[in-house]
């Protein structure tokens, strides 16, 4: 058995008791899958994740990648290759492939529940296997010939990368300098350097399709001037997929990182050794919009990865706290002869464990709630229900920066301050997997836009640009829940008050933004608080989802049987979160309301 312990009981509870996913199974586009089939898939992934995938987690970290500077090739440890092949050979790639070319259609909620266990056991496997997800973009947005490329990506297990970042541009994607020059045969030659490219090369796949943003000759500045090109590692026969000569896209460096070491993060050069031949996706110059299909998937994946790692850390900490004997019970501390107890009996350890439990289970619900919105989008699109699609897509867009930004930030912090801390000094050693969890999870706050960028996106794009519609609809749903009565009335009242405080935060920030039309520097007051707002809205959603879980648990307790403790834990986690976390939102409101923007007036030399 490897390091990983999946929490399938809680996944099942979220899917079928909290989110009632059984209501969409056996119907419409999901008519061929029922609860028994879905649970069979999840149980099989649990077995595979805990054993086969987790088996190479530690060695992948210790050995990392081997980079050949002469050839530009990257090699991975044999044990990791074996784990990857287990995932692919068992055909789990089918849940991401277009149905038209061999994919299996399942609800996103089931798909992301599967992903949690893969990402929790060995995240790099899911990351390297993303080539099948990229094929969706090539198939949906590509020309007829590019649909054939998508089929080769699926049939032949080709890898894929997303190439946005450049050394001088960073998160300012529109400042990218990579260029594209059209050729007489309709292809394009790409030149430039890209940095921090995940899965830039490996010995897992015979070919890799790089999705590269570049600026065609004569195109305008900024992101609007960028186009998206498919650039293969090896040229190939379009009809058969048979490989030809090497294309001019090479790894020139592999980053030495603090974690996720088996995932090759590469610097890539295009067009230096020989032409880097690319194909304009869809034969249209719409690069950023096309790439956002990949970015949205990646942000969901990163948030799920972070939350899965927190769950893994909590499971490890809980087991350790139940086994580790140290110190007397606090009520008998003065009696030197009193028996030693397991550390779960110490008040602060118990507090720490409940923090981990509440957040890991609350954020799992956040991921699967967001995925349930994606379920509804897929059904509405299939049934051409235009009235629903716009609001559902806006709600999904609103939730993604919370899943990614809030989820990654909270998971990283809690893994270090609570999960690792449960082990004391042992947590700082490689005897336990916590130190690797912490190192591996830090990247999640940086991947696909840092937490600060998620905060800016959340306020300016997902609230202001949307006119507050999606956040208003979500707030209305939470408000209705708070007013619904029942056994948790006090907790619901506390949530309602916190919701008012968050609404006041948004009102103040909109006020700052409006004042900036007359005094531009007022916008600094907004920028100083966008992350504060993102995290506060995240706390509200987690509190709401935990209380919904508690309400379901209370309804089941009379006939709970062996699940009695499970439901008791649900109620306890919700009450604990309401009591210990939500009060901080009032303080965040006071801080925001007193914002003067003074930080922006301090001279740089004063720092």
In the annotation, is 91 catalytic?
no
Tell me what the mean pLDDT of segment 411-427 comes to.
97
Q: Is 200 exposed, middle or buried (0-12, 13-18, 19+ CB in 10 A)?
A: buried
* Mean pLDDT value across residues 334-356: 95
Q: Which residues contact 71 (CB under 8 A, 6 or more apart)?
A: none
pLDDT band at residue 1 under the 50/70/90 scheme: low
The pTM score is 0.96
Residue 539 pLDDT: 98
Residue 414 CA from chain centroid, whole number:
16
- pLDDT given for residue 87 in this prediction: 98
Residues 6+ apart with CB under 8 A from 567: 553, 554, 556, 557, 560
Tell me the fold of 8-134. Butyryl-Coa Dehydrogenase, subunit A; domain 1 (1.10.540)
Task: Please give the pLDDT value at position 169.
Answer: 80
Which own/partner contact pairs does 451-457 have at CB distance under 8 Å and 24+ positions apart?
Answer: 451/405, 451/408, 451/409, 451/531, 451/534, 452/530, 452/531, 453/171, 454/401, 454/404, 454/405, 454/406, 454/531, 454/534, 455/401, 455/405, 455/530, 455/531, 455/532, 455/533, 455/534, 456/527, 456/530, 457/401
User: Using the 8-state DSSP alphabet, how is residue 76 labeled?
Assistant: -
**Catalytic-role residue among 50, 418, 435, 448:** 448
- Tell me the per-residue pLDDT of 479-501, one tens digit each, with 9 for 90 and over: 999 999 999 999 999 999 999 99
Q: Considering the domain delimited by 159-285, tell me its CATH architecture.
A: Beta Barrel (2.40)
102-116, 167-181, 483-497: the lowest-pLDDT one: 167-181
Give tens-digit pLDDT for 275-299: 999 999 999 999 999 999 999 999 9
300-335, pLDDT tens digit by residue?
999 999 999 999 999 999 999 999 999 999 999 888
**Domain layout of the chain by residue ranges:** 8-134, 159-285, 467-600
At 436, is the pLDDT very low, low, confident or very high (cuts 50, 70, 90)? very high
């Amino acid at each position: 058995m490897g390091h990983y312990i999946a929490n399938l009981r809680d996944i099942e509870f979220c899917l079928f008791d909290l989110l009632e996913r059984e209501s969409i199974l056996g119907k419409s586009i999901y008519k061929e899958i029922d609860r028994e089939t879905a649970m069979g898939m999840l149980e099989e992934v649990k077995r595979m994740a805990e054993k086969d995938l987790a088996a190479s987690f530690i060695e992948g970290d210790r050995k990392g990648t081997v980079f050949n500077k002469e050839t530009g090739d990257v090699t991975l440890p044999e044990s990791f290759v074996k784990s990857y092949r287990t995932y692919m050979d068992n055909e789990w790639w089918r849940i991401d492939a277009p149905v038209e070319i061999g994919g299996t259609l399942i609800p996103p909620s089931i798909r992301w529940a599967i992903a949690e266990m893969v990402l929790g056991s060995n995240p790099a496997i899911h990351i390297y296997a993303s080539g099948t997800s990229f094929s969706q973009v090539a198939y949906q947005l590509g020309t007829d010939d590019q649909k054939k490329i998508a089929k080769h990506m699926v049939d032949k297990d080709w890898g894929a990368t997303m190439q946005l970042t450049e050394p001088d541009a960073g998160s300012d994607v529109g400042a990218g300098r990579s260029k594209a020059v059209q050729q007489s045969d309709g292809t394009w030659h790409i030149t430039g350097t890209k940095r921090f490219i995940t899965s830039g090369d490996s010995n897992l796949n015979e070919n890799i399709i790089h999705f590269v943003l570049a600026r065609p000759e004569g195109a305008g500045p900024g992101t609007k001037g960028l186009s998206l090109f498919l650039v293969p590692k090896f040229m190939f026969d379009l009809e058969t997929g048979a490989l030809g000569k090497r294309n001019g896209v090479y790894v020139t460096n592999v980053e030495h990182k603090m974690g996720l070491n088996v995932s090759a993060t590469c610097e890539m050069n295009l067009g230096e050794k020989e032409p880097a031949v690319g194909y304009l996706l869809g034969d249209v110059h719409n690069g950023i919009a096309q790439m956002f299909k990949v970015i949205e998937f990646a942000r969901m994946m990163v948030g799920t990865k972070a939350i899965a790692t927190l769950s893994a850390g909590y499971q490890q900490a809980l087991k350790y706290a139940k086994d580790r004997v140290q110190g007397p019970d606090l009520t008998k501390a003065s009696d030197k002869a009193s028996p030693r107890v397991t550390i779960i009996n110490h008040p602060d350890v118990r507090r720490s464990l409940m923090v981990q439990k509440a957040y890991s289970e609350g954020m799992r619900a956040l991921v699967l709630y967001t995925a349930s919105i994606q379920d509804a989008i897929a059904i509405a699109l299939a049934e051409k229900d235009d009235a629903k699609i716009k609001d559902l897509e806006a709600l999904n867009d609103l939730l993604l920066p919370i899943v990614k930004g809030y989820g990654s930030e909270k998971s990283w912090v809690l893994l270090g301050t609570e999960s690792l801390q449960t082990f004391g000094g042992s947590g700082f050693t490689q005897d336990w997997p916590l130190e690797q969890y912490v190192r591996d999870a830090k990247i999640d706050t940086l991947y696909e836009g840092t937490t600060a960028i998620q905060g800016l996106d959340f306020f300016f794009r997902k609230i202001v640009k949307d006119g507050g519609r999606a956040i208003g609809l979500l707030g209305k749903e939470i408000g209705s829940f708070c007013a619904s009565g029942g056994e948790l009335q006090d907790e619901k009242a506390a949530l309602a008050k916190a919701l008012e405080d968050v609404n006041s935060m948004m009102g103040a920030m909109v006020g700052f933004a409006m004042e900036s039309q007359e005094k531009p520097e007022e916008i600094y007051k907004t920028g100083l608080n966008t992350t504060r707002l993102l995290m506060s809205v995240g706390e509200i959603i987690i509190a709401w989802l935990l209380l919904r879980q508690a309400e379901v648990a209370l309804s089941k307790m009379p006939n709970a049987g062996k699940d009695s403790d499970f439901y008791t834990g649900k109620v306890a986690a919700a009450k604990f979160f309401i009591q210990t976390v939500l009060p901080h939102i009032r303080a965040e409101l006071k801080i925001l309301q007193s914002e003067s923007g003074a930080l922006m007036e301090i001279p740089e030399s004063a720092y």
